[in-house]
Amino acid sequence: MSHQKSVSHHRKEFDEIYQMIVEAHSRNWRAVNTALIRLYWSIGQYISIKTREAGWGKNTVEALSEYISNKNLPKKGFSARNIWRMKQFFETYSKYKELSAILTEISWTNHLHILSKTKSIEEKQYYLGLSSKHHYPERELARLIDSSAFERTLMADKKLSAALTEFPADTKGIFKDSYMFEFLELPDNHLEKDLRSSLIKHLKQFLFELGPDFTLMGEEYVVQVGMKDFRIDLLMFHRGLNAMVAIELKSMEFQPEHLGQLQFYLEVLDKDLKKPHENPSIGILICKTKDDEVVKYALNRHASPTMIAEYETKLIKKSLLEEKLHEISQKIEFGEEISGE
């Protein structure tokens, strides 16, 4: 029997053995990573105490780094800079015992991105949770932080419509107030069809930007009402919410009449496509720009669970989003209405 025929004949058994190997590698990585993070924590704790109680400073830590390097250890990672990072790592999280378990589930490289690029403990906890749950590689986690996913998600949570806050499943942390499509490299005068086709062409990046649990059901998804066909720009399904998500794209500023079209699609989906065990369908209208006050009034009497968001073709400065989030938080704290700029 040839090798090819043997593989075909024993594919199920071979797949089971392959899965054993994958799981063993995964367990081995987790064990090694856990030991490494605990080591760095212990070193960071030791250095923190010595700097505070024994006056250790830059010269001492540099001497320590040189001493360790001369011992010819099999693993690198003990430069003076990295030792200072271990101290920062310990001092950042030592007051938050509830995070101790999750810290060992994340690679040191990802820890460094979170430590250097985030400010509040809430922001750090957000990225720690994402990195631990979804095992993001360094490049993907860095992109999330650089694109201010935390601020954009928090802003969306603060603006959820009544229909979304009353949804059968928790919708917090699912949507973003603005979506970053810098990976599309679209011209400024692009059309909606250009936006849609580019998102499908870069489907992996698009799904990553949408967030975990989104899957694509279809592009220009056809629904029939009477003798007419209608096309939903993008029909998704969200496993966590157990619901279909209709996404409509508008390469212009949000207009209240856009909601009528989306409302129609949601009605068709719920009556004709939704399965008995699924939750009501959700609509996301992604526009070039939006005025939050216009959005607020438009959604006040809109019964369907709907989210209105913007999209950007270039990354926004993190500082600008932080300022906007701070303004929104202050308005909510003092009971003011959230309005547009």
pLDDT tens digits, residue range 32-68?
A: 899 999 999 999 999 999 999 999 999 999 999 999 9
43 belongs to a structural domain: yes
pLDDT over 80 at 330, yes or no: no
| Domain co-membership, 206 together with 325 | yes
Query: What pLDDT band is residue 302 in, cutting at 50, 70 and 90?
Result: confident
Lowest pLDDT segment from 2-16, 154-168, 257-271, 276-290: 2-16
User: What is the average per-residue pLDDT within 335-339?
Assistant: 49
| Domain co-membership, 127 together with 176 | no
| Domain co-membership, 135 together with 169 | no
- Structure-token match 């669970």, residue found: 305
Query: What pLDDT band is residue 24 in, cutting at 50, 70 and 90?
Result: confident
List CB contacts of 57: < 8 A, sequence separation 6 or more.
51
pLDDT digits 0-9 by tens, 61-88:
999 999 998 887 776 789 999 999 999 9
Over the range 292-310, which residues count as b (16 or more CB within 10 Å of their CB) and which as e?
bebbbebbeebebbbbbbb
79 belongs to a structural domain: yes
Higher pLDDT pick, 153 / 187:
153
| Domain co-membership, 98 together with 161 | no
| Domain co-membership, 141 together with 153 | no
77 belongs to a structural domain: yes
Give the span between the Cα atoms of 238 and 37, in whole angstroms. 33
| Domain co-membership, 214 together with 90 | no
pLDDT over 70 at 312, yes or no: yes
Query: What pLDDT band is residue 16 in, cutting at 50, 70 and 90?
Result: confident
Q: Provide the CA 265 distance to its chain's centre, in angstroms.
A: 27
User: What is the average per-residue pLDDT within 225-239?
Assistant: 95
- Give the per-residue pLDDT at 333: 58
Q: What percent of the chain has pLDDT over 70?
A: 92
| Domain co-membership, 115 together with 163 | no
Total count of domains within the chain: 2
| Domain co-membership, 249 together with 300 | yes
User: What is the average per-residue pLDDT within 306-326?
Assistant: 86
| Domain co-membership, 275 together with 312 | yes
| Domain co-membership, 118 together with 158 | no
pLDDT over 70 at 206, yes or no: yes
| Domain co-membership, 312 together with 165 | yes
Domain of 13 in residue numbering reads as 3-146
- Give the per-residue pLDDT at 28: 77
Burial class of residue 336 (count of CB atoms within 10 Å of its CB; 0-12, 13-18, 19+): exposed
339 belongs to a structural domain: no
CATH number at residue 218: 3.40.1350.10
| Domain co-membership, 157 together with 288 | yes
User: What is the average per-residue pLDDT within 285-290?
Assistant: 96
Query: What pLDDT band is residue 5 in, cutting at 50, 70 and 90?
Result: low
User: What is the average per-residue pLDDT within 209-233?
Assistant: 95
341 belongs to a structural domain: no
